[in-house]
Amino acid sequence: MRPANESQPLAHGDFARLPTAEDRVSLQETLHRVLKVRQSLRGGWGFNAQQDALEPTCLAILALRHQSAAHAEKALIRIAQMQHQDGSWPAFDGAGREGTWTTALAILSLLSVGRKGRSLQCAIEWLLSQRGREADWFWRWKFRMVDTSVRFNPAKYGWNWIPGTISWVIPTALSLIALRQARKLTATAKLDERVEIGAEMILDRMCPGGGWNAGNGVAFGIPYAPYIDATAIALLALSGHETEPGVHRSLSWLVNRLPACPSPYSLAWGVLALAAYRHISAANDTLDHAAKKLVALIEGVVPDDVCTLAVCALALDAVDGDNVFEV
């Protein structure tokens, strides 16, 4: 995931002219055009020109899912080439034979363009087989009896960045979104149970005042500060859990922090989350201004980073009611 930039936040009164709906449409077209230009000759996208990577490639596929079939088809061929025999994907082209969290993004990419088949089923099965290290009985005992510096319930586990490590918020949230969307293809008791445990893990790791950090809400007796992108992605995964007090606290935290967000990447994720909760008045009231701020931040200087380009394009789609991360 991408780091936030450090530019100064914009308040409502800082806009010389509030962007219009026409500005948003024009910016969407620009973002799509730039993404197409930056596609590698191999068919994917990368963090640099030398190596395709799964995160930017999958986010670009999601952003271009309604665009020209040629670009999406070339990218889909590319990720098919990178898939492991066990159904998983690496983080980078040539990064070895171990699957990573990017498998959830690849599943979302395939689902978004209506792909079916054995490769998708294998990916779903691989994702269902993965769990954080704390799910193992030994590590569960260790976290309860020995390593008590972090405060979480090890019986509530999710997904990790790479196998063999503990659960983290963003991989768990994206895995939940992928599996919840995959229900239309494969609805099983195992999938339902895994989704339930993953949702419990996210709620268990929430920061005390609402929102989510990258991993734990509290460690060494110190409450951690939430991050906007982690909070937004977690809220997307928890849509439908509005009766949970933690969801309301976290949504309130996001609504209060988003107007001062200086990062297009984090702001875009915030817009995606608000769009998924627009039926709640506080989220709907903030959504329009957050979207206008996003347009104002990037219409003059289009981001260099492919992930930021793609997430911004997806956020603008969500404002118009087409949220690829909704479940």
List CB contacts of 294: < 8 A, sequence separation 6 or more: 264, 267, 268, 271, 312, 315, 316
Rounded to 5°, the CA angle 228-233-234 comes to 100
What is the model's pLDDT at position 109?
97
CATH code: domain of residue 132:
1.50.10.20
How far is the C-alpha of 123 from the C-alpha of 110, rounded, in Å? 10
pLDDT tens track of the chain, all 327 residues? Answer: 654 443 344 444 444 455 777 888 889 999 999 999 999 999 999 997 789 999 999 999 999 999 877 898 999 999 999 999 999 999 998 887 889 999 999 999 999 999 989 999 999 999 999 988 876 655 555 656 555 556 667 678 899 998 888 899 999 999 999 999 999 888 799 999 999 999 999 999 999 999 999 988 777 677 789 999 999 999 999 999 999 999 999 999 999 999 999 999 999 999 999 999 999 999 999 999 999 999 999 987 888 899 999 999 999 999 999 999 998
Task: Please indicate, yes or no, whether residues 193 and 218 belong to a single structural domain of this protein.
Answer: no
What is the model's pLDDT at position 322?
96
| Single residue among 180, 204, 228 that ends a domain in this structure | 204
Task: Please indicate, yes or no, whether residues 240 and 222 belong to a single structural domain of this protein.
Answer: yes
Rounded to 5°, the CA angle 307-232-269 comes to 30
| Single residue among 147, 178, 204 that ends a domain in this structure | 204
CA distances from 151 to 205, 208, 215, 218, 226 (A): 8, 11, 11, 6, 15
Task: Please indicate, yes or no, whether residues 261 and 176 belong to a single structural domain of this protein.
Answer: no
Task: Please indicate, yes or no, whether residues 128 and 164 belong to a single structural domain of this protein.
Answer: yes
What is the model's pLDDT at position 311?
98
Q: Which domain holds residue 280?
A: 1-37+206-327
Task: Please indicate, yes or no, whether residues 108 and 161 belong to a single structural domain of this protein.
Answer: yes
